[in-house]
Each structure stands twice: as structure tokens, then as C-alpha cells.
Amino acid sequence: MATTRILEWIGRLYIWLLLAFLYLPIIIMALMSFNVSPFYQLPFEWTTEWYASLWQNDQLISATWNSLEIAIITTIISVVLGSAASLALYRYDFPGKKFLQALLFPPIAIPWLITGTAMLIFFFGVGIGRGLFAILLGHVALALPYVIVVVSARLQTFAPELEEAARSLGANQWQVTWRVTLPWIMPGVIAGGLFAFAVSFDQFVVSYFLSTPGQTTLPVEIYAAIRKGFTPEINAVSTIIIVVSMALMLLTARFFKFGGEK
């Protein structure tokens, strides 16, 4: 019994060590964005200078707007198309359904380096070229499988009798979908949308290959800046990004939890 308790105690300690490993670099990066020294030297002296100078950086600001616009449009398109596809996969049986479901995994499983370079070649070949439109095309394709998987998971908890009951009470197919099914799967749809936003907003690899100077997203700009040298400004903008994306995922977890279990 005593050994069990000691082992449990070691286990808890271990988890905290893992959390330290996961979070300490991020916390240090965030702290350095508030440090006066541009060379990250200690002792620590508080400043918000680096955040203020972000506002002067037009390139970074325009890239931020691009990122936000693309992420929002990606979210809307992939949620609409993805929810429709999930409904079809849930409601109907037809030959080749298994195959269509299996097709969702290559976009998730194939490394982005391969997908990104393939998109670059193809978009160039058919005349779409690079730029924000190409990035949007790519992001929606990356986000769609996630939306379909998440919404389908929610649909698994749906009782088909509800649709039948509505139908027997005289509702047509459209009313059934809009008034009965959609409200039920809403938490899944919202979670899928947040996933889609995160996939797009944090996406670096695919955006990197599809961007041109002037038509870039925030992560691509940050990568370019990092390769020129480290500055506290990068820390500042990185801190903002990480806070935003973590907040988003906390929101997602909330919706998925409330939606997923009961």
C-alpha cells in the first residue's frame, strides 16, 4: 500500500515535470517580450516597447489582417461544406461511402510539406498561381476533413427517431434539417469551426509555399523574420499568437465537451 502511494506521488510529480517541459519555453518567450534588452539579456526590466513597435510594423499588420481574413473565410466555407457532407454521410447509404470517408485521411496524414509543394505546382500549372486566393483554397482543403470528422462524431450521438418524429408531424426535409438536426449538432459545428479557424490561423507550411511577397500570412512573416535574426518584436507577436490560439482551443474544448458527452 505504501509503495502504491509513493508510485502515485512520483506519477503526479512526473506529470508536472512534463507540463513544465511543455510550457516553460513558451512562458520564457512571453517574458522576454516584456524585457528591455533587445539581446534578451538579464536582469529583467519591464517594458511594453516591443508591443508598441509592432504597431509601427506595416508589413506585420497587413500580414495579420490577411491571416485573420483567410481564417474567417476558411472557417465559414469549411463549416458549411463540411457539415453538409457530414449530414450526407450520416443520413444516406450508398455504394462507395466507405471510400469517401477514407479519402478524408490523406489530407490529414500526408506531411504538409508534400501537400504544400504539390499545391504550388498544380496552382501554378492551372494559372491560379500563388497569393491569398491560393492560400485560401489550400486552407479550406486542410480544414474540411477536421470539420467533417468533428461534426460526424457529434452526429453519432443524434437519435434518428427525432427526424422521423418531425417528419411524421408534417415537417419537410428542409424543416427537419433546420429545426431538428442542426440545433442538435450545433456544438459539433461550432467545435468544427473553431478547429478550422485554428488550422488556418496557425498554418505555416502550406501558406509558406503559396505566398508571394506582399501576399503573406502572419506565420510566414514570422518565419522570414526569424531567419533574419531573433528580435524581441518576434517574441511580442509570437506571444499574441500563442495566447489567441490557446484561448481558441480552450473554447473548442468547452464546446466539444458540452456537446460530446451528453
Q: What DSSP string runs through 12-46?
A: HHHHHHHHHHHHHHHHHHHHHTTBS-TT-PSSP-B
Choose between 52 and 113: whose C-beta lies nearer to other proteins: 113
Choose between 148 and 190: whose C-beta lies nearer to other proteins: 148
CB of 173 to other proteins, least distance (A): 9
3-state helix, strand, coil in the chain (%, to 5): 80, 0, 20
Choose between 11 and 170: whose C-beta lies nearer to other proteins: 11
Cα angle 88, 257, 27 (rounded to 5 degrees) comes to 120
Choose between 25 and 183: whose C-beta lies nearer to other proteins: 25
Q: 103 in helix, strand or coil? A: coil
CB of 13 to other proteins, least distance (A): 9
CB of 239 to other proteins, least distance (A): 8
Residues with Cβ within 8 Å of 221's Cβ and at least 6 positions away in sequence, in order, are 59, 60, 63
d(CA 55, CA 245): 20
CB of 62 to other proteins, least distance (A): 19
53 and 179 Cβ atoms separated by less than 8 Å? no
Choose between 52 and 121: whose C-beta lies nearer to other proteins: 121
Cα angle 204, 202, 186 (rounded to 5 degrees) comes to 140
CB of 200 to other proteins, least distance (A): 12
